[in-house]
Structure 1
């Protein structure tokens, strides 16, 4: 029963992701989403540049394969062997490709663990040097508890299933107070342009443009000559939040954390600034900080061969105007 429950989690994970895509961005139906994804994903990794420059026909095949693995293959999780194992292999292979070409924290690893549930004891024993355990009688209390758990999961699955079947499907939502049976999905829409927020500080009260120095992040691109790093399965929460925030030309109500980070920079709060990769003011805090917004693009193979750069960038605006500690305190006082 536990194996079936794991398969059910895996099914909701994969099938929900497939549905949100096919109902979402037109590029999923036009098979063009991967023309953009490797460049605009939350945190590119060392292979993302190469994946981005794969031939466009290959990207079309990738998207088609994505739809097959997420929309058709999940039904085979519940089929007899060897079909369930084949479905598991396809799912795990799909997750490994995602892990090879992007930093998606521990999501791929968790899904791979769920995928192992599609393998029977016989399949695992045929591949790994392990024995097949002898079946033993299940104690009656355990059978009762398992049946009760199954009924509970069945009842709690009604709303997630209705959500998956709904044209207005929502992603990554819980429908019970204990978050026991949830609905999942990812990348229903694909950003076509990559925007980046770059935090800078200065010790000057009336700075020229050259007086600003940059705080570098751990995962988000800042320097154009730096190859995208590998961080997964570690989850860089701040970098993900910066990616989400960069989609807007100005900070919104959900970006209060950004002003807390700017305050930490103005106070040289070592603990909080450890979330960043570099602090250009290790000894004395800056007088002012600001946040610029850039558009980043991967260099072409020719540009990379000529310059060694991984990215090109163009400044498109100022996300947060220069502020001092006093400015932030007034902002907190008046709520703006």
Structure 2
């Protein structure tokens, strides 16, 4: 059964698994740092309430067996230790069964988190990490020849990811068809980074070329991923370059980074061996039991691929959906529509016991999303600021905050320390929370060069309304 393995991809597997482990590490760190105010026992969307109404078979998770904030933290720390060991290559010399157990552990732990994460874990890159992580289980350690079928499943995943994103754009917003979406996108994307303003200021001709290059990559070049070498490597390099472009122009958590990592698995191993200080072991084997197991897994994943494949060619294509509770084969896509105007949610508080026209309102500053117009947009990706992202959605439609936004305001009024740690700064000293908070909506746009030179501002904002009138803790009630 030697035809089921390909030693030539030894270095490709090395690059892919190290990169995937790094993404796992970031994901577990983000979960540990943010879970208490988001989904903790006393958070905005508490896990215990979710577990009470969710069956295990619909959302498998270790937390169905036991829940406590301390146990969740232990799961995160275990994931951090395991993924750090994989990043450092400490597991590469393990026996095959132990190496598989290590990657399976990472997958089970993160699946357990995603399946209780609710709104905060509804992003497409969560399922993408789980699907890629499941495939990594079967790749094998350093002394095992990489299985051909798993390498092709990785190509299939990358193809669905890119082609699905291209189709959803072509079927969605007309601005993708007339090549004008990038006139707006760099300014209105969820979380701009330090370079986004520069990209926004590029000429309309360059913006049209950006959109055209996106279509060419996601709708044409991706077919090369399914062809023999060296065509597949050339297509993968194009994907890597385009993802790098997205990395430097915006903050999309680990979506672009993980897509780039997936593309490294398609690159011919001889390329990596030529540019990296690595040496392939002289003997690479593959036990029969492992090859049989890979055959079984591949058969199951191909069967599960039917619905995602059908979705690609459906007129009612959906984005970022999982068709099974284990997130084994999913559908992806982003920015099927592009907003033309940027609206930002601004949360303010006052210590006035009876707010009126003369009250002084002070603004909370978030870590990543725009607030202070003089603050340069920060670089946060591949880290994921979940609250900041959801605030962007609330700016588009307040209904996105229907379940958790009142609880967020209640925690601010209580001066909850864990919630305040989600923010960059609070205008109120520790132990002295505001008496009232309110939520306002502002229209934001990047400053012109003249405005930037004059006032030193990155943004210009104008009031656009009030989402939540002044509210006190008594009015919100207990959590």
TM range (shorter): over 0.9
Q: How does 1:174-189 map to 2 (within 5 A)?
A: 174-189=322-337
- CA deviation vs aligned residue, 1:96-127 (integer Å, no higher than 9, x gap): 11110101111111111100011122122222
Q: Residue in 1 aligned with 2:294?
A: 146
Q: Is the 8 A contact 1:198 1:222 kept in 2?
A: yes
Aligned residue pairs, count? 329
* Cα distance in structure 1, aligned partners of 2:315 and 2:324: 21
Change over 3 Å in CA distance of 1:206–1:139 after alignment to 2: closer
Q: How does 1:1-336 map to 2 (within 5 A)?
A: 1-134=149-282, 136-204=284-352, 205-208=354-357, 211-248=360-397, 251-252=398-399, 254-282=401-429, 283-329=431-477
List alignment gaps of at least 5 residues for structure 2: 1-148
Compare 298-307 and 59-68 and name the one that shifted more. 298-307
Q: Is the 8 A contact 1:289 1:322 kept in 2?
A: yes
Cα shift at 1:137: 4.5
- CA deviation vs aligned residue, 1:56-93 (integer Å, no higher than 9, x gap): 10010000000011111111112122111111111011
Change over 3 Å in CA distance of 1:83–1:277 after alignment to 2: same
Secondary structure, in 3 states, of the residue corresponding to 2:290?
helix
Change over 3 Å in CA distance of 1:135–1:148 after alignment to 2: farther
- Where does structure 1 differ by over 6 angstroms across 4 or more consecutive aligned residues? none
Cα shift at 1:2: 1.7
* Cα distance in structure 2, aligned partners of 1:112 and 1:253: 30
* Cα distance in structure 2, aligned partners of 1:155 and 1:240: 34
List alignment gaps of at least 5 residues for structure 1: none
Q: Is the 8 A contact 1:121 1:132 kept in 2?
A: no
Change over 3 Å in CA distance of 1:82–1:162 after alignment to 2: same
- Provide TM-score, normalisation by structure 2: 0.67
* Cα distance in structure 2, aligned partners of 1:209 and 1:123: 67
* Cα distance in structure 1, aligned partners of 2:338 and 2:306: 29
Cα shift at 1:134: 4.6
